[in-house]
A and B are shown apart, each in its own frame.
Chain A
Amino acid sequence: MPPAFLAAIDHKRLGQLPRQMWNSSQGNVEVWANVVIIAWAAAFMLWQGEGFAISVGTIFAIWAILAVSLNLVVGFTGLLSIGHVGFFGTGAYVMAVLSSTATYDQPHSVGIPTFGLPFFAALPVSALLAGLVALMVGIAFNRFRDDIYVLVSFGFTIIAFNVFLNWSSLTRGPFGIHEIPRPEIGGMVFDGELEFLLLALAFLALIVLVSWLLVSSSFGRVLTAIREDERAIEVFGYRATHYKLAVWVISAMMAGLAGGLFASWTSFIDPNSFILLESVLLVCIVILGGLASIRGSLLGAMAFVLLAEGMRFLPFLPNEYVGQARQVVLGLLLVLLMLFRPQGLAGRYKL
């Protein structure tokens, strides 16, 4: 016979306790994710100092612009695209060619035309040309959906990378383009890291605002309806192909803008920044943060950047393994997330 106080415990309910605690914590995952990630970011800043915080912040801003813009397509419209880096690269190369001040006077160097345009003149062209490429690609893509969409967008990424690599007379191929200047407007030069961070954050704020306006409009509501049942919404008089094309082009223009920022920030670009892996990581960020959630994309980008940059400082991890370890950790995180929280950190919609 067990003692009376033990018998008084309802074993059945005790057994359910972990599950209950788990269930009640589910609603707060987003809050906890916010707290953890922001605390993590703050701890890093205090530990590593201002310079680290500024460069991580800039990387975050660029990834966040990409993630928010990709979420318009993947999360809100339900088109799982891994072609986003193609538009990012287009924007970066347009910025590089238009604004680079490099001269190629060595006898054997591959020369390309350079225009030396200022940043703020080149940036709209970056966005517009990325949008133009997206328009042409999108018309071809519009007949596809679901898993086929993944494949054709995969194809686009490969083609874009090969164009960057092989169109030497415009991109200098594997040599890359140097001397891309920092933004300058009316005598004000954003050459300091902090100034550039503020500029990048301002652009991020603009992109978030535009995205939020879009998804909370009637247009955004129709996009989600297309995601849920494209044929059904068509019967109610909406041309799904037009809506899909429109959001695709807008999203690509935002990616092109991110590309322009990136080129100006690094001052040197080569095709290696625009490989398929970057696209896949971007989709991971969007899913990690939460599909159809702008806040989620910001959260996902922050988590990713902290993870990617933070692993540099793990004492037991030799430097040469950092790159691989990042991908392993991100992959593991994604598997765990799909198992326990398929809507991502802040999302509501499940794939």
Chain B
Amino acid sequence: MREVDVSLITDAVKRMSMEANTRLGDDVIATYAACAEREESETGKSILEQLQRNAAISGETGLPLCQDTGVAVVFIELGQEVHLTGGELKEAVNEGVRRGYREGYLRKSIVADPLRRKNTGDNTPAVLHVDVVPGDKVKITIATKGGGSENMSGIKMLKPADGVEGVKDYVVERVREAGPNPCPPTIVGVGIGGTFEVAAILSKKALLRPLGKRHADPFYAALEEELLEKINRLGIGPMGLGGSTTSFDVKVEVHPCHIASLPVAVNIQCHSTRHLETEI
């Protein structure tokens, strides 16, 4: 067994929650520039340029890229040879969020109860997904997910007979319905298969793959390409003001499922896609 003190997890979550909110990935910056170049609408181009300026200002000043610094969604792949010491895993993650959101001057956007809605004041609790995997490492991924794009997500339990056409129709319909609301150009995460809850988690995990990187299975890689093309024909454009860049990318993840089922979940991510990973 390898012993890992949970304070290392707290430190990593703190650092990453601050960094993710002020620095976009190189893939995202490159995508902004490439899309600004080929966007057909002048207004759309100007918005893509504003996104680039915003990223530069955020990097220079340390101000968050967006005021919605999100719910901290934390994925941990916990090696089964690891023995965690020094405290509870969940509390260690929450402490990292608490410190990062305080010290990074990030917004506290979590209410303690969905209906009584009192702000917890420290952006905790995080949403934590833990998978036990082979090995002796702890891989931590944090996605700080804004509410505006999350609200435009959806799930549908299709019939197997609906097939791939049913999946395409649902995904494109979700993006059409969302229109300007989720801060396009978006990234569209699609989870197909599994059960109701597995499809939803897959659609969120799909958003973690770097922009431009296709699914390893050529069948799904082709589906991603086709969906992206259909979505970009909708005309929604940057911030919904019309244009040829409605989404930067579509990511599909799949899972085996029941003979009676074909779940499909769509998790929409705004243009400010913020996530980081590290390994302890």
Are chains A and B native binding partners rather than an unrelated pairing? no
Binding site for B on A (CB under 8 A): none
Binding site for A on B (CB under 8 A): none
